[in-house]
Amino acid sequence: MSSFYKVSDFTDEQVAELLNESILIVPAVSAGNVPQLAADLLLHSLGLRLVGRLSDLYVYPFAGPRDTPDGAATVNGGGISTAVEVFAGSGLTVVQVRSPPLPGQRRRFVEETLLPFVRNFRFAETLAIASSNAALRESLQGPRYQLLTPPVGIKKDTKAAADAAGLGSGNGSNDGDATTAALSARLAKLSLALDTPPEPAPASLEGLPESGIALDLLTAVADAGGKICAPLIYVYEGDNFGDAHEFADRVAAAAGIDIAATKAALPTPGRWTQPVSWQWVYGKSVPVGLEEGLYS
């Protein structure tokens, strides 16, 4: 049974053309919500179109107004936002996960909702973007960013495994290593001094505190023969808008986007476009008393 439901604006053929061979980005609901915020920046800055929704059976119920780029008309029509939505365009597919899995349903969400979606389309690569709580990490002197590969012990990508899982064509045991090397090279364009070589993810969530579905998704896709890595950022909880802008740069680099050219063409050159919903994250500004507050 498919977990993906396209919107009526697109035919099956149009959806397949947009999604096949694109780079898939899936944010984890994790520390500071930074992956979701970074995904918001990318999909609004690049004008990605809503093409469908995924089943919300295993996540908390959610519905809200359709978001728009700040100061612009919506590119995705009216209606409502739902818990798990799929946006596509510009060679990217972004699954915006707006709601965390229900207690005890994290693996089922990955294996019965996300993995079937990955199998249905021939994605070039999958980026499981994630954050982890910097206050809980083992090494306080560790890098701010990491590029994680599937945990040690996951079977290597092979043509047989990929074909059997419906994940496109693998081309031998070095395929995953080649994908990781390509991602690492793209990230290195930002700052060689701040990047560390790709490394295997820890075997359990204790090594990635508050990282959500990232480890489960890495394991599930790799075990099925898919190409996947996880760009990760360590953050502290608080005002994480700045972290989101930084992480959007990293994710865009991992996806092979020309960041300088893309940001130069945005309404505010050099800065990712924020959605209008960000204006109310911390509530309304307190009115000044003599101007519009108590004594006005």
Tens of pLDDT, residues 185-211: 665 555 433 456 788 888 888 889 999
- How many domains does the chain divide into? 1
Please report whether residue 260 resides in a domain: yes
Q: Confirm whether 144 is domain-assigned.
A: yes
The pTM of the full predicted model, rounded to 2 decimals, is 0.84
Domain that holds residue 114: 4-156+170-280
Give pLDDT tens digits for 91-147. Answer: 999 999 999 999 999 999 999 999 999 999 999 999 999 999 999 988 777 889 999
Question: Contact at 8 Å (CB) between 25 and 248?
Answer: no
Total residue count of the chain as it appears in this document:
296
Assigned domain for 121 exists: yes
Regions in the chain scoring below 70 on pLDDT: 1, 70-78, 153-196, 283-296
* 165 domain-assigned: no
Residue 296 lies in a domain: no
Does 215 map to a domain? yes
Asked if residue 295 belongs to a domain, the reply is no
> What is the identity of the amino acid at 104?
G
Sheet holding 23-27, edge to edge: 4-6, 49-54, 84-89, 92-97, 23-27, 125-133, 228-235, 145-149, 199-200
Residue 210's CATH number: 3.40.50.10900
- Residue 161 is assigned to a structural domain of this protein: no
